[in-house]
């Protein structure tokens, strides 16, 4: 199936990011009638100045348009970014000026988790997020909404064969650290400096066997309570910020 020429983006932060960085892609905008908050009005003024069509509609129209209830009263229709303009992992590795810092998500299915991971990845300074093309959540309106603009600041790179990509990263000198609750090695006892990719598995089963075998080291997050594990986006946040702490030379 051919990729659609247009995509819908909704949510204040996600729309604001597009207007700030790539407003030329925006074709039209829908806004919920009766909304008069300052942030929304500022965006409407910006859109009006560009001559973009604005449709003021009831909330139920936006609910039907997006198929969600949390669109925050604003939806835009914009041109899909051409594939040739999206960075490849090879380009990212070749152009970063600091040691590569990557997040790899192995078959994460929930768009809320992917969106949350993108948002945290942006905050932590991740250079790219790598996902498999198949059996994994891709970029969608829900992902963009939850990511709060990070879907347009952090490259999300789908790859055909994740195992091959991980081995290629190792050849580039990138250290692969996988999160596995069964590991005997603590996250906090593991070096997370230098070229690094943090690897996380799916919500239900964790890392696939081959992914686990390829990783250079597997680590666990110490759990001091009664629950056995953390949500994948929460676990990613914990690990990313332990890496940030180490990479900035901070101490306890």
Q: Mind listing the domains of the chain with CATH numbers?
A: 6-83 (3.30.1330.30), 86-247 (3.40.1280.10)
Name beta bridge partners: 77: 8, 28
Identify the pLDDT of residue 37: 83
Beta strands of 125-252 (E only): which ranges? 128-132, 156-159, 175-179, 196-200, 217-219
**45-72: b or e for each residue (b if 16 or more CB lie within 10 Å)?**
eebeeeebeeeeeeeeebeebbeeeebb
pLDDT digit string (tens) for 195-231?
A: 999 999 988 888 999 999 999 999 999 988 877 778 9
Binding site per annotation, positions? 201, 221, 230
In this predicted structure, the answer to whether residue 251 has a pLDDT above a threshold of 50 is no
Q: Are 199 and 215 in contact (CB under 8 A)?
A: yes
Model pTM score = 0.80
Considering only CA atoms, which of 19, 29, 5, 45 is closest in space to residue 77? 29
Report residue 181 CA to chain centroid gap.
23
Binding site per annotation, positions for S-adenosyl-L-methionine? 201, 221, 230
pLDDT digit string (tens) for 6-19?
A: 888 888 888 888 88
Identify the pLDDT of residue 197: 98
Q: Are 222 and 186 in contact (CB under 8 A)?
A: yes
pLDDT digit string (tens) for 57-75?
A: 998 988 888 887 688 888 8
């Amino acid at each position: 199936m051919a990729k659609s020429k247009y995509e819908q983006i909704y949510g204040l932060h996600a729309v604001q990011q597009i207007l700030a960085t790539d407003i030329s892609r925006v074709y039209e905008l829908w806004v919920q009638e009766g909304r008069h908050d300052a942030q929304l009005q500022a965006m409407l003024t910006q859109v009006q100045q560009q001559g973009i069509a604005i449709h003021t509609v009831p909330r139920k129209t936006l609910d039907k348009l997006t198929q969600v209830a949390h669109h925050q009263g604003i939806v835009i229709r914009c041109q899909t970014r051409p594939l040739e303009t999206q960075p490849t992992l090879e380009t990212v590795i070749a152009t970063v000026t600091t040691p590569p810092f990557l997040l790899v998500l192995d078959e994460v299915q929930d768009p809320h988790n992917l969106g949350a991971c993108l948002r945290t990845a942006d905050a932590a300074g991740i250079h790219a997020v790598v996902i498999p093309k198949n059996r994994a959540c891709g970029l969608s309106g829900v992902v963009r909404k939850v990511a709060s603009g990070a879907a347009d600041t952090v490259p999300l790179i789908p790859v055909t064969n994740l195992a091959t990509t991980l081995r290629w990263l190792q050849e580039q000198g990138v250290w692969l650290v996988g999160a596995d609750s069964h590991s005997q090695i603590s996250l906090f006892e593991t070096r997370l400096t230098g070229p690094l990719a943090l690897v996380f598995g799916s919500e239900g089963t964790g890392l696939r066997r081959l992914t686990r075998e390829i990783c250079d080291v597997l680590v666990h997050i110490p759990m001091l309570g009664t629950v056995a594990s953390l949500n994948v986006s929460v676990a990613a946040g914990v690990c990313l910020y332990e890496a940030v702490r180490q990479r900035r030379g901070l101490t306890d």
